[in-house]
Amino acid sequence: MNFLASSKPSHRTATRLLAAAALCAASGAHAQAIPKTVRLIVAYPAGGVSDVVARALGDRLAAQLGVTVIVDNRAGASGAIGMDAVAKAAPDGATLGFSAISPLVLSPHLGKLPFDPLKDIAPVASVMYSPVLLIATPASKAKDFRALIADAKVQPGALRWATSGPASLGHIVLEQLRSAAGVDITHVPYKGGGQQLNDAIGGQFEILSTNASPTLTSHIQSGKLRPLAVGAPARLESLPQVPTLGELGYSAANINSLFGVFAPAATPPALIARYNAEINKALASAELRARLAATDNVPTGGTSAAFAKEIASEFESNGRIIKAAAIKAD
């Protein structure tokens, strides 16, 4: 199955997403019971940070609703395989999906998906954002992020910036900084994060952009890697000395990975609303918030309409960046 064949996303994205959210929020539908067994499709492998959070959320929902939540890991194609399974599931409230929004806001600009991200998926609730950390390796002598940019201006192309791959969120951050700072930085794309982190410790490049994780935190605490900036709405509690890219004057690059819960598009509005309320309730629990904090992820929540609006905004923004930088899928 070709998850990234040629396609051209429509500019009607925002209108269609918001219309779908409005439909899901409508109050005219009769109240419907949550099914006794709910499948939570997680678009990532078992054992990773996203999977841990999804399982913790599933446990909370099971306790609150008095139902059984079964986690179904469907990893691959940057989340598109899992989201395709959600899109094709029966819209009866028995299937939800947990994923970053990237399969909806990045992947459509890079190729054709086996589902329509604008028509086949309903945003249910925003769950968390995962900050993007900009990390200096032993190869970099820059004392802070401003010094790093200054070095890049003095030696065009000499600064090597590693990401998890072409068109990844880290690559988007890099392209925004290239444009805003007017610097020539060499992109070093990897396929995933494992080898990337090992090479960072070995000083194979100067800077790494990656999401927060316990493994990364341990290397920061040991002094092997140094955080210079973070893509997040506010500084992290665990790294209060590290400024956001917004503080440093790069607001367009101050982005992060947003994760949420989704449902098949034709899921009854009453069920969407019920799940949204229960997810917000779960996110208010001390237990789940502690689980998120332990991995440097930040709880979000809010209405399904607000979530859809954020997705629409990211879709349009990413489209402009990808076109301007001529970014192609690997």
Domain boundaries for CATH 3.40.190.150 within the chain: 13-130+257-325
Euclidean distance between CA atoms 260 and 176, whole angstroms: 24
The 10s digit of each residue's pLDDT in 38-70 is 999 999 999 888 999 999 999 999 999 999 999
Euclidean distance between CA atoms 79 and 139, whole angstroms: 32
Which tokens sit at 126? Answer: 């925003």
The pLDDT value given to residue 164 = 87
Euclidean distance between CA atoms 123 and 309, whole angstroms: 10
Cα 105 to Cα 21, 64, 181, distances in angstroms: 16, 31, 25
Euclidean distance between CA atoms 69 and 95, whole angstroms: 10
Euclidean distance between CA atoms 86 and 175, whole angstroms: 31
User: What does pTM read for this prediction?
Assistant: 0.84
CATH number of the structural domain 132-253: 3.40.190.10
Helix/strand/coil for 57: helix
CATH number of the structural domain 13-130+257-325: 3.40.190.150
Domain boundaries for CATH 3.40.190.10 within the chain: 132-253
Euclidean distance between CA atoms 91 and 192, whole angstroms: 33
pLDDT values of the chain reduced to their tens digit, one per residue, 330 residues? 444 443 444 455 555 555 555 554 443 334 578 999 999 999 999 988 899 999 999 999 999 999 999 999 999 888 999 999 999 999 999 999 999 999 999 999 988 899 999 899 999 999 999 999 999 999 999 999 999 999 999 999 999 999 988 888 899 999 999 999 999 999 999 876 678 899 999 999 999 999 888 889 899 999 999 999 999 999 998 899 999 999 999 999 999 999 999 999 999 999 999 999 999 999 999 999 999 988 889 999 999 999 999 999 999 999 998 998 888 876
Closest CA to 103 of 130, 123, 73, 83: 83
Contact 102, 315 (CB under 8 A): no
Contact 42, 262 (CB under 8 A): no
